[in-house]
């Protein structure tokens, strides 16, 4: 697994030259995908910001971006993306055993395994530490019973990143464990939930005596909240368009909706928006409806632009302040509270784009599909509520900022000291079979 080569943290031009040579000599569109992924993994060029020991090159984010630009310039296929490399990998680097990290990193980087987040429950979303899915030890295995909801892509993935309760006698944050559970097994049932976009990317997942080998516990038993905190910090940051590949707003709809959005863009072969960010779709609509001289529209566009630019500068400042520890690379410490600010801004920007785009279209904004001036935009408009909820709601981000930046007092709560089994259960939870009394 370990890639060759030395760590070149900051010599961006040397990295650029080496990457250019690599892609010029290695990339060939006639190679099979599996063969190409293998080359990327073994060379370290697939995920150059990752540690050298784990298929990376230990590059600074700036140098890694230069390498990525060289890849794009040659048109070479990129490495597998998605939740595995963006969210699970940093968790493995921080909490995994060497055996576990090697096993999952190899499978995800070769494109052999995909992952879903199995965290939220019907009564535990913002209050994630209140999950009631139960894990009981049975020799070398754990037995899982309970239910998760809003699980994006659960029907198609290989593994779930699962948070479950292993100890009911301690306060709620103390009795949780993080598991990597194989989805395709007896005892795991996935039921799709249909969204107003028409997609059914969401699911409810039911566990009835499903099994997880002890080797697939991530972090220590009963210490799952520490692992979850790492996850949440990286997840929040994943909504930051400056932290990822793709043009402005390319990532804004979150993992589930972004995947659907991109698929949708591909289907919209007749629109001029094909393959472009929603910002340029909006620009097209303004031109199409001849609104470019309207002072209110111009003002709204200017506000969008300046907010976006300001966010980029803030993100650059944050990255610079973290550069001492490897910057924003997945192997560096998890992003801090600044990610809450970026997520709130992205969420507000998305709503502003939606409102402006619909206003520009007037009554045509009510149409959909082929009748709509830009079907892509209508799909985007229906997807926007997701952004204020997924990865932690706007209110929760504001709580973070209030407590950790402004120093406001946190809400008084007995939950940090009372054993979980003694906490008053909600009416819904109290009637669910299998819950502890
Ligand atoms: C597009 C999308 C994709 C998702 N994908 C996944 C996934 O793959 N896996 C997964 O596990 N989950 C996923 N989720 C679920 C998501 O994480 C939760 O919906 C979210 O954390 C909110 O939890 P909840 O729905 O239980 O709402 P609740 O927590 O019940 O919140 C309801 C309302 O109360 C407010 N509120 C709650 N607590 C507070 C507080 N302390 N202070 C102020 N206001 C508060 C909230 O802001 C919200 O407005 C996804 C959600 C979306 C929209």
- Domain CATH number, residue 350: 1.20.140.10
Which of these, 360, 365, 359, 363, lies nearest to 379 by C-alpha position? 365
pLDDT at residue 263 greater than cutoff 80: no
pLDDT at 261 over 50: no
Tracing tokens 């520490």 back to the chain, one arrives at: 226
Q: Is the CB of 399 under 6 A from ligand 1?
A: yes
Closest atom of ligand 1 relative to the 394 alpha carbon:
47
Residue 139 is assigned to a structural domain of this protein: yes
Q: Look at residue 9 in the predicted model and tell me its pLDDT.
A: 54
Q: Which of 21-35, 137-151, 241-255 has the weakest average pLDDT?
A: 241-255
Same domain, 219 and 259: no
Identify the domain boundary among 184, 200, 223. Answer: 223
Using the predicted structure, report yes or no on whether residue 358 has a pLDDT greater than 90.
Answer: yes
DSSP 221-241: TTBHHHHHHHHHHHHHHTT-G
390 lines ligand 1 (CB under 6 A): yes
Whether residues 51 and 192 share a domain: the answer is no
Index of the ligand 1 atom closest to the CA of residue 392 = 21
Tokens of 221: 């038993």
Give 392 Cα–ligand 1 centroid separation in angstroms.
6
First to last CA, the chain: 48
> Does the C-beta of 382 come closer than 6 Å to ligand 1?
no
Per mean pLDDT, which range of 139-153, 237-251, 344-358 is the poorest? 237-251
- Would you say residue 180 lies in a domain? yes
For residue 334, give the DSSP letter: P
Residue of 235, 245, 263, 411 marked active site: 235
Q: What residue numbers bound the domain in which 144 lies?
A: 115-223
Please confirm, yes or no, whether 18 is among the known catalytic residues: no
Average pLDDT over residues 329-350: 77
- Do 278 and 375 lie in one domain? The reply is yes
| Residue 46 within a domain | yes
Q: Do 252 and 212 lie in a common domain?
A: no
Average pLDDT over residues 259-277: 39
Residues 83 and 177 occupy one common structural domain? no
Report how far Cα 5 is from the mean position of its chain's Cα atoms.
30
Mean pLDDT of 247-265: 35
pLDDT at 298: 85
Is residue 3, in this structure, part of any structural domain at all? no
Judge whether residue 435 has pLDDT over 60: no
Percent above pLDDT 90 for the chain:
56
Q: Are residues 48 and 133 in the same domain?
A: no
Specify the pLDDT at position 334: 64
Instruction: Tell me the C-alpha distance between 20 and 218, whole Å.
Output: 37
Atom of ligand 1 nearest to the CA of 120: 11
Same domain as 127, residue 94: no
The residue out of 51, 75, 109 marking a domain boundary is 109
The pLDDT of residue 242: 63
Asked, for residue 126, whether it belongs to a domain, the answer is: yes
Number of domains in the chain: 3
Q: Is the CB of 52 under 6 A from ligand 1?
A: no
Of 114, 115, 150, 259, which is best to mutate to test ligand 1, by the most ligand atoms within 8 angstroms of its C-beta?
150
Residue 433 has pLDDT above 50, yes or no: no
Q: Does the pLDDT of residue 59 top 50, yes or no?
A: yes
Q: Which residue has the higher pLDDT, 265 or 321?
A: 321
Nearest to 375 by CA among 386, 388, 361: 361
Residues 138 and 168 in one domain: yes
pLDDT, average across residues 415-432: 67
Residue with CA closest to ligand 1 atom 26: 125
Among candidate residues 109, 141, 159, the one where a domain is terminated: 109
Q: Using most ligand atoms within 8 A of CB, pick from 116, 126, 200, 408 the residue to mutate for ligand 1.
A: 126
* Same-domain pairing of 273 and 385: yes
Q: What is the pLDDT of residue 226?
A: 96
| pLDDT for 374 | 82
pLDDT score recorded for residue 429: 46
Report which of residues 220 and 430 the model is more confident about. 220
The closest alpha carbon to 349, from 374, 384, 379, 376, belongs to: 384
CA 260 to CA 199: how far, in whole Å?
Answer: 8
Do 160 and 293 belong together in one domain?
Answer: no
Q: Residue 211 maps to which CATH number? A: 2.40.110.10
Whether the predicted pLDDT of 332 surpasses 80:
no
Q: How confident is the model at residue 199 (pLDDT cuts 50, 70, 90)?
A: confident
Please give the model's pTM, rounded to 2 decimal places: 0.85
pLDDT at 262: 38
119 lines ligand 1 (CB under 6 A): yes
The pLDDT-based confidence of 259 (bands split at 50, 70, 90) is very low
Q: Average pLDDT over the chain, rounded to whole?
A: 84
340 in contact with ligand 1, CB cutoff 6 A: no
Whether residue 249 sits in one domain with residue 211: no
Q: Hey, what long-range contacts does 432-435 have (CB within 8 A, 24 or more apart)? A: 432/132, 434/134, 434/145, 434/146, 435/132
Query: Is 351 inside any structural domain?
Result: yes
Query: Does any ligand 1 atom lie closer than 6 A to the CB of residue 125?
Result: yes
Top-confidence range, 28-42, 238-252, 414-428: 28-42
CB 103 within 8 A of CB 64: no
Of all residues in the chain, what percent carry a pLDDT higher than 70? Answer: 82
Pairing of strands 188-193, 176-182: unpaired
Residue 391 lies in a domain: yes
Decide whether any atom of ligand 1 lies within 6 Å of the 151 Cβ.
Answer: yes
Report yes or no: 117 and 180 within 8 Å, Cβ to Cβ.
Answer: no
pLDDT-derived band at 272, boundaries 50, 70, 90: very low
> Which ligand 1 atom lies nearest to the CA of residue 391?
17
What pLDDT does 327 receive?
A: 45
> Tell me, what CATH number does 37's domain have?
1.10.540.10
- Mean pLDDT to the nearest integer, 163-184: 97
What is the residue with the minimal CA distance to atom 2 of ligand 1? 390
Query: With 60 as the cut, is the pLDDT of residue 33 above it?
Result: yes
pLDDT at residue number 276: 55
Q: Is the CB of 150 under 6 A from ligand 1?
A: yes
Residue carrying the six token digits 């080998």: 213
Ligand 1 atom nearest to CA at 389: 53
Same domain, 141 and 58: no
Q: Within a domain: residue 193?
A: yes
């Amino acid at each position: 697994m370990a890639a060759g080569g030395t760590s070149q943290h900051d010599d961006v031009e040397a990295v650029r030259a080496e990457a250019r040579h690599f892609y010029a000599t290695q990339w060939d569109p006639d190679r099979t995908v599996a063969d190409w992924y293998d080359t990327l993994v073994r060379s370290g060029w697939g995920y150059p910001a990752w540690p050298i020991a784990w298929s990376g090159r230990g590059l600074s984010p700036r140098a890694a971006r230069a390498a990525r630009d060289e890849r794009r310039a040659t048109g070479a296929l990129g490495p597998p993306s998605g939740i595995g490399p963006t969210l699970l990998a940093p968790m493995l680097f921080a909490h995994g055993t060497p055996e576990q990290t090697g096993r999952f990193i190899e499978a995800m980087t070769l494109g052999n395994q995909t992952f879903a987040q199995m965290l939220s429950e019907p009564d535990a979303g913002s209050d994630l530490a209140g999950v009631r899915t139960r894990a009981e030890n049975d020799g070398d295995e754990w037995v899982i019973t309970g239910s998760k909801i809003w699980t994006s892509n659960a029907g198609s993935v290989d593994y779930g990143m699962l948070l479950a309760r292993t100890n009911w006698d301690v306060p709620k944050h103390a009795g949780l464990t993080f598991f990597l559970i194989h989805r395709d097994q007896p005892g795991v049932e996935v039921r799709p939930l249909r969204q107003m976009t028409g997609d059914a990317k969401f699911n409810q997942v039911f566990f009835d005596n499903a099994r997880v080998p002890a080797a697939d516990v991530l972090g220590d038993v009963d210490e799952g909240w520490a692992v979850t905190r790492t996850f949440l910090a990286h997840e929040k940051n994943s909504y930051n368009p400056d932290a990822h590949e793709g043009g402005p707003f390319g990532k804004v709809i979150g993992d589930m909706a972004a995947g659907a959005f991109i698929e949708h863009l591909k289907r919209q072969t007749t629109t001029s928006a094909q393959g472009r960010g929603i910002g340029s779709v909006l620009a097209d609509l303004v031109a199409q409806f001849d609104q470019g001289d309207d002072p209110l529209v111009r003002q709204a566009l200017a506000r969008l632009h300046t907010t976006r630019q300001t966010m980029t500068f803030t993100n650059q400042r944050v990255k610079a302040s973290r550069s001492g520890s490897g910057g924003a690379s997945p192997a560096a410490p998890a992003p801090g509270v600044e990610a809450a600010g970026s997520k709130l801004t992205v969420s507000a920007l998305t709503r502003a784009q939606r409102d402006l785009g619909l206003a520009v279209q007037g009554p045509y904004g009510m149409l959909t599909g082929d009748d709509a001036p830009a079907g892509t935009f209508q799909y985007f408009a229906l997807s926007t509520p997701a952004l204020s909820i997924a990865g932690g709601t706007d209110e929760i981000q504001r709580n973070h900022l209030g407590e950790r930046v402004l120093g406001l007092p946190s809400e008084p709560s007995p939950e940090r000291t009372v054993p979980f089994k003694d906490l008053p259960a909600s009416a819904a939870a109290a009637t669910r079979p299998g819950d502890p009394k």
